[in-house]
């Protein structure tokens, strides 16, 4: 969440006086460490700092992997293939990337500035650690008088916006610098030359560059949500300044300028959709969402369409009427809410009213919005105590994780003083503990007991709740009882060792325990539940893939699990599972996970759980699930302007009938929903299109609220304007969610084919309708969709959709995850962030002159970019690998792992963290890891070693190099060539949809998958 301070504050920890007090975010930055001792320079190393990196061998001439040799033409030489002269080529390539570097002035000539780790200052100096400025904390974003960046202010024009300028037209899509990575030749789009299947891999759009350049910009600039109308790339940390339009963290439209008619939209082949992450975390420097209380009358709403009051409603008749921005109905202003308007029609109190100036607000709501008395959130931990859980150390880890989540302690960032004394759950929340194997055990946790009392529920056919008093307790009052119980559980059950868990009975029992109040269940499971009612069996024998049988394995028809899921949602209950298959076994995640997917929960899945390697990840993830913002008993409604209507929702929730509200047992900060719109008329280009999402929920502290987000887009007659305001992350997110939603009806092969077709449709549509006079042989990409093809290729290669064998547990897990992922997490999942740590500049990983962490440029996901002797961090938001080349420098290993650890074989394969060492490199890498961890999603970051030739994780490393040919799909270059060829066929009227050369698909499968795609 707001871990920004961790890597910006750099040990100074002096927030600006006007920064929000964030008691929950102490400065967790590691204490400065002394510089390395000077005595260990390699022979020949120069102290001047100008030598090439000492970790690297001088050349990598023998290195290009055999696999890739056929894909990449020999090293590009100017004018290598196309016959264009160099200048011309450069011009054409400008938009693809060459121009980007010029605009953004990234570090030049990096090699020259590379430093070996040991090119440090004199021993004893700690300059590298203290060299940061005194005023560089990120809280200066709040300091509106600070001269460092344009001050976002509500300008007169903006403040009068609803009355004075009914037509919204974004001032600018983005500045050049702001979107340097995306900006080339805005009108003409970008060009990548292809000819006879040859593409220069250096010149195709680079995902790393598209992130790194804006990330630099947004270190020192805010994103004003009305002045600019094209959000930063989703993976880029930024501080949004809410000017009435919701921050992209909460809502991203695929098109921030919307064509007036369905026909005009169809020329783009793009979906019109909205990605909502209503409880998204904020980062330091952003204003907390205000909570507004209108007392018994509740927030003012439109009488006709029930839209909530928002900055785009206009006031008429001297302030007596307000005109709804969704349906244009003129409402009477309630007398309690009346304020006169000034001569320009603006309410005189506008600037004092957050609901009239901010895009995202929380409304407290009165009793009529309650379905039951709101109370603090009940957390019920269901702990698997069967033999597998005990034997494999999962029970141990899970219990430790709960203790750490409730009371701190356990993982690294807890070690600072004061943290453990802090209350983790909001006052009013309560916790309960249940264990289960073939029976269900409840515990009385009353604070007045010496130790917890167990009550065994043996009637698993008709489970009930055997106690009322002491089941849910205040975690602080009962701290001693809870801690002692959790500490003893692993020992207690090591004597019983029942092999089979009775899961469904336990879930039904938990449902009874929470029906009255609603709440959140956190359940561990380490074996296929084969006991009692709802017992499951091994459905996936590993041999069913690419056929209808596989499709069935991805869904569940189990009446027991479907029923308990539905009842949980109805009662305002949601569930997160922590599932481990320590021996790699099948867990039927399709069936069990249906309960969490339906109730708005999540699955944390450890397919190869190994204790103690994975206990830190387990512990961190339990802590995350307990401490992230969580609401329960939630309903969601999305409203839009006349002329548009919601056509589909995608995500993890319960949807009773179309048109009804979405229902969530629980919803948390990491969960996103995709909403698609269709036209039911024509939009008026003179007016704007408005969207409002309203999430009615109960907070963990027990307040009933509505989280309201308002989004506005301008409207144009045609679609040319729309193409300038395309949000690539939103488009990818909507398409991915929709693809995931189809997994129960279409085969994986059909889905991959449809994704390919969709990519061609969009790019061909652009080529046909929106480009100028580009030579026919050129692949022209829309400026803001430059990396779109790569992200779709990443999707096709993801575990959810990839060809070839993949355990259905993993497929269905990833599929449901994609449905719920926010744009940031999905971006990372579709294209990992790769950092070369053997060639870090000595300043990388430390604060720059302005106090911001200096991140090295990231590396393209291709083995051709891997250097001999290299060491790389590879993070896709789910796992973070540390890949080490076989001939990595022994000095690097010692700097990273400690003295004596100078060979790959000597490293502990199961370590999940780096030791804290007083070496420059150690500090750099740990700082970088901390940055990655704070900019990720719902999964915790721990390291997994992937040593070349030694560790199984190497396969995962190879799998994540999405630009190469792998995962039964093409390389990025070949994929672009393939797409390009089909665009040309489409433009020539010769495109057949039965292409069999690429991602093999058959003609019949595409019936109905065209625009409006997926039917």
Pick out residues in 542-581 that bind Zn ion (CB under 5 A): none
Rounded CA separation 792/830 (Å)? 8
**Contact stretch for Zn ion (CB under 5 A) within 72-80, 97-105, 325-333, 488-496:** 325-333
**Tokens encoding 19:** 């920064």
Rounded CA separation 583/577 (Å)? 18
Kindly write out the interface string for residues 262-301 of this chain, putting x where it contacts Zn ion by CB under 5 A and - elsewhere. ----------------------------------------
* Closest CB to Zn ion among residues 302, 590: 302
In 3D, which of 674, 707, 606 has the Cα closest to residue 397? 606
* Helix count and strand count (H, E) for the chain: 28, 30
Cβ at position 713, least distance to Zn ion in Å: 18
Q: Are 653 and 664 in contact (CB under 8 A)?
A: yes
Look-up of token digits 């030049």: 108
Rounded CA separation 527/524 (Å)? 10
Q: What are phi and psi of 853, to 5 degrees?
A: -60, 130
Q: What is the 3-state secondary structure (H, E, C) of 764-817?
A: HHHHHHHCCCCCCCEEEECHHHCCHHHHHHHHHCCCCCCCCCCCHHHHHHHHHH
* Closest CB to Zn ion among residues 639, 724: 639
Sign of CA dihedral 466, 472, 473, 478: positive
Quick check: 333 binds Zn ion (CB under 5 A)? Answer: no
Cβ at position 161, least distance to Zn ion in Å: 18
* Closest CB to Zn ion among residues 326, 734: 326
Number of residues in contact with Zn ion under rule CB under 5 A: 8
* Closest CB to Zn ion among residues 327, 513: 327
* Closest CB to Zn ion among residues 302, 760: 302
* Closest CB to Zn ion among residues 307, 510: 307
* Closest CB to Zn ion among residues 98, 305: 305
* Closest CB to Zn ion among residues 322, 931: 322
Give CA separation, 994 vs 269, 510, 747, 936, 979, in Å: 19, 51, 16, 39, 14
* Closest CB to Zn ion among residues 308, 606: 308
Cβ at position 337, least distance to Zn ion in Å: 16
* Closest CB to Zn ion among residues 63, 329: 329
In 3D, which of 477, 411, 425 has the Cα closest to residue 630? 425
Kindly write out the interface string for residues 516-535 of this chain, putting x where it contacts Zn ion by CB under 5 A and - elsewhere. --------------------
At residue 972, the 3 state secondary structure works out as: helix
Q: What are phi and psi of 372, to 5 degrees?
A: -150, 160
Cβ at position 637, least distance to Zn ion in Å: 13
Pick out residues in 302-321 that bind Zn ion (CB under 5 A): 302, 304-305, 307
Q: Are 959 and 966 in contact (CB under 8 A)?
A: yes
Cβ at position 554, least distance to Zn ion in Å: 40
At residue 222, the 3 state secondary structure works out as: strand
**Contact stretch for Zn ion (CB under 5 A) within 326-334, 411-419, 520-528, 733-741:** 326-334
* Closest CB to Zn ion among residues 305, 720: 305
Residue of the chain from 35, 251, 324, 734 that contacts Zn ion (CB under 5 A):
324
Kindly write out the interface string for residues 192-231 of this chain, putting x where it contacts Zn ion by CB under 5 A and - elsewhere. ----------------------------------------
Cβ at position 361, least distance to Zn ion in Å: 18
Cβ at position 369, least distance to Zn ion in Å: 18
Q: Are 692 and 326 in contact (CB under 8 A)?
A: yes
* Closest CB to Zn ion among residues 326, 723: 326
* Closest CB to Zn ion among residues 236, 307: 307
Cβ at position 676, least distance to Zn ion in Å: 21
Cβ at position 302, least distance to Zn ion in Å: 3
Cβ at position 325, least distance to Zn ion in Å: 8
Cβ at position 644, least distance to Zn ion in Å: 13
Cβ at position 405, least distance to Zn ion in Å: 43
Quick check: 326 binds Zn ion (CB under 5 A)? Answer: yes
**Contact stretch for Zn ion (CB under 5 A) within 89-97, 329-337, 707-715, 771-779:** 329-337
Containing 252, the helix (H) or strand (E) segment is strand 251-253
**β-pair type (257-259, 704-716):** parallel
Cβ at position 326, least distance to Zn ion in Å: 5
* Closest CB to Zn ion among residues 361, 389: 361
Cα within 13 Å of Cα(256), Cβ side: 30
**How many residues can be counted in the chain?**
1015
Sign of CA dihedral 208, 214, 216, 219: negative
In 3D, which of 287, 286, 155, 158 has the Cα closest to residue 218? 286
* Closest CB to Zn ion among residues 691, 766: 691
Cβ at position 304, least distance to Zn ion in Å: 5
**Tokens encoding 238:** 């930024």
Rounded CA separation 639/645 (Å)? 8
Cβ at position 551, least distance to Zn ion in Å: 42
> For the chain, what percentages of helix, strand and coil (3-state, to nearest 5) are there?
30, 20, 50
Give the angle subtended at the CA of 497 by the CAs of 491 and 501, to the nearest 5°.
115
**Contact stretch for Zn ion (CB under 5 A) within 45-53, 328-336, 403-411, 827-835:** 328-336
* Closest CB to Zn ion among residues 223, 322: 322
Residue 41 per-residue DSSP state: P
Cβ at position 229, least distance to Zn ion in Å: 24
Secondary structure (DSSP) of 145-166: T-TTSPPP---HHHHTHHHH--
Peptide bond between residue 1012 and the one before it cis (omega within 30 degrees of 0): yes
Pick out residues in 835-864 that bind Zn ion (CB under 5 A): none
* Closest CB to Zn ion among residues 304, 768: 304
Roughly what angle, to the nearest 10 degrees, separates helices 394-407 and 479-494? 180
Cβ at position 323, least distance to Zn ion in Å: 9
Containing 443, the helix (H) or strand (E) segment is strand 440-444
Residue of the chain from 40, 80, 329, 863 that contacts Zn ion (CB under 5 A):
329
* Closest CB to Zn ion among residues 176, 328: 328
Secondary structure (DSSP) of 451-512: S-EEEEE---SS-----STTTSB-TTTTHHHHHHHHHHHHHHHHTT--S---HHHHHHHHHH
Rounded CA separation 881/953 (Å)? 8
Rounded CA separation 25/27 (Å)? 6
Pick out residues in 66-105 that bind Zn ion (CB under 5 A): none
Give CA separation, 69 vs 198, 689, 863, 972, in Å: 13, 50, 11, 14
Quick check: 327 binds Zn ion (CB under 5 A)? Answer: yes
Chain-centre distance of CA 725, in angstroms?
22
**β-pair type (778-781, 190-193):** antiparallel
Cβ at position 331, least distance to Zn ion in Å: 8
Interface residue list for Zn ion (CB under 5 A): 302, 304-305, 307, 324, 326-327, 329
């Amino acid at each position: 969440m707001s871990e920004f301070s961790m890597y910006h504050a750099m040990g100074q920890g002096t927030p600006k006086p006007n920064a929000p007090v964030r008691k929950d975010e102490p400065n967790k930055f590691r204490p400065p460490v002394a510089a390395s001792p000077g005595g260990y320079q390699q022979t020949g190393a120069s102290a001047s700092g100008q030598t090439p990196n000492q970790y690297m061998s001088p050349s990598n001439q023998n290195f290009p992997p055999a696999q890739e040799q056929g894909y990449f033409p020999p090293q590009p030489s100017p004018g290598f293939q196309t016959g264009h002269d160099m200048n011309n080529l450069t011009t054409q390539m400008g938009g693809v990337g060459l121009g980007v570097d010029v605009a953004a002035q990234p570090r030049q000539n990096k090699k020259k500035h590379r430093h070996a780790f040991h090119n440090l200052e004199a021993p004893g100096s700690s300059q590298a650690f203290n060299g940061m400025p005194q005023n560089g904390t990120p809280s200066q974003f709040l300091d509106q008088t600070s001269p460092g960046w344009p001050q976002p202010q509500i300008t007169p024009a903006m403040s009068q916006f609803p009355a004075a300028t009914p037509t919204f037209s974004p001032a600018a899509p983005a500045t050049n610098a702001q979107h340097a990575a995306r900006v080339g030749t805005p009108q003409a789009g970008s060009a990548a030359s292809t000819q006879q299947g040859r593409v220069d891999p250096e010149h195709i759009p680079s995902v790393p560059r598209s992130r790194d350049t804006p990330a630099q910009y947004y270190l020192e600039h805010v994103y004003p949500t009305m002045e600019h109308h094209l959000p930063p790339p989703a993976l880029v940390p930024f501080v949004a300044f809410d000017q009435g339009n919701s921050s992209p963290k909460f809502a991203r439209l695929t098109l921030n300028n919307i064509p007036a008619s369905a026909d005009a939209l169809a020329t783009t082949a793009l979906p019109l959709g909205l990605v909502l992450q209503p409880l998204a975390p904020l980062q330091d420097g952003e204003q907390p969402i205000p909570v507004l209380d209108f007392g018994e009358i509740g927030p003012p709403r439109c009488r006709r369409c029930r839209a909530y009051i928002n900055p785009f409603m206009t006031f008429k008749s001297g302030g007596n009427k307000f005109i709804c921005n969704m349906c244009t109905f003129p409402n009477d202003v309630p007398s309690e809410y009346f304020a006169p308007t000034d001569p320009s029609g603006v309410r005189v109190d506008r600037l004092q009213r957050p609901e009239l100036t901010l895009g995202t607000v929380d409304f407290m709501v009165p009793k009529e919005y309650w379905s039951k008395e709101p109370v603090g959130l009940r957390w019920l931990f269901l702990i698997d105590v069967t033999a597998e859980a005990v034997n494999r150390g999962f029970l141990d880890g899970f219990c430790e994780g709960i203790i750490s989540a409730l009371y701190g302690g356990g993982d690294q960032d807890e070690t600072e003083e004061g943290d453990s004394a802090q209350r983790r759950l909001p006052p009013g929340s309560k916790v309960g503990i249940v264990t289960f194997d073939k029976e269900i055990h409840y515990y009385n946790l009353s604070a007045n007991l010496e130790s917890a009392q167990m009550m065994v529920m043996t009637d698993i056919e008709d489970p009930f709740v055997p106690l009322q008093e002491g089941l849910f307790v205040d975690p602080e009052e009962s701290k001693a009882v809870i801690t002692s119980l959790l500490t003893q559980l692993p020992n207690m059950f090591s004597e019983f060792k029942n092999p089979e868990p009775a899961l469904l009975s336990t879930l039904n029992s938990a449902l009874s325990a929470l029906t009255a109040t609603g709440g959140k269940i956190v359940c561990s499971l380490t074996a296929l539940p084969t006991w009692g009612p709802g017992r499951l069996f091994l459905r996936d024998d590993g041999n069913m893939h690419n056929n209808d049988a596989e499709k069935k394995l991805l869904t569940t028809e189990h009446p027991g699990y479907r029923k308990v899921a539905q009842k949980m949602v109805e009662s305002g209950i949601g569930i997160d599972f922590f599932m481990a298959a320590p021996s790699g076994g099948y867990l039927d995640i399709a069936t069990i996970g249906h309960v969490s997917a339906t109730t708005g929960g999540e699955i944390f899945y450890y397919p190869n759980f190994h204790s103690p390697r994975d206990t830190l990840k387990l512990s961190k993830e339990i802590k995350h699930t307990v401490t992230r913002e969580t609401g329960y008993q939630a309903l969601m409604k999305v409203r839009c302007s006349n002329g548009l209507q919601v056509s589909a929702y995608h995500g993890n929730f319960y949807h009773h009938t179309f048109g009804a509200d979405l229902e969530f047992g629980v919803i948390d900060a990491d969960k996103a929903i995709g909403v698609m719109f269709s036209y039911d008329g024509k939009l008026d280009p003179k007016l704007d299109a408005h969207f409002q999402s309203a999430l009615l929920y109960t907070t963990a502290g027990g307040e009933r609220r509505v989280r309201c987000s308002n989004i506005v887009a301008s409207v144009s007659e045609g679609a040319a304007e729309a193409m300038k305001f395309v949000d690539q992350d939103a488009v990818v997110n909507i398409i991915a969610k929709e693809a995931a939603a189809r997994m129960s009806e279409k085969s994986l092969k059909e889905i991959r084919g449809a994704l390919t077709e969709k990519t061609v449709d969009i790019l061909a549509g652009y080529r046909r309708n929106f480009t100028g006079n580009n030579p026919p042989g050129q692949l022209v990409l829309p400026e803001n969709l430059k990396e779109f093809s790569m992200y779709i290729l990443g999707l096709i290669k993801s575990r959810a959709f990839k060809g070839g064998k993949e355990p259905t547990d993993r497929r269905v897990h990833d599929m449901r995850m994609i449905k719920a992922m926010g744009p940031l997490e999905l971006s990372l999942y579709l294209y990992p962030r790769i950092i070369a740590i053997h060639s870090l500049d000595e300043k990388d990983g430390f604060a720059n002159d302005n106090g911001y962490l200096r991140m090295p440029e990231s590396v393209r996901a291709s083995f051709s970019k891997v250097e001999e002797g290299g060491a790389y961090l590879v993070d896709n938001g789910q796992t973070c690998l540390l890949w080490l080349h076989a001939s990595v420098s022994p000095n690097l290993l010692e700097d990273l792992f400690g003295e004596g650890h100078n060979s790959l074989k000597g490293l502990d394969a199961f370590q999940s963290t780096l030791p804290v060492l007083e070496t420059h490199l150690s500090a750099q890498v740990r700082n970088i890891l901390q940055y990655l961890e704070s900019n990720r999603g719902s999964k915790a970051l721990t390291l997994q070693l992937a040593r070349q030739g030694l560790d199984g994780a190497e396969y995962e490393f190879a799998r994540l190099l999405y630009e190469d040919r792998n995962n039964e799909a093409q390389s990025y270059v070949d994929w672009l060539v393939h797409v390009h060829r089909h665009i040309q066929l489409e433009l020539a009227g010769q495109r057949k949809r039965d292409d069999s050369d690429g991602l093999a698909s058959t003609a019949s499968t595409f019936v109905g998958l065209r625009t409006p795609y997926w039917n």
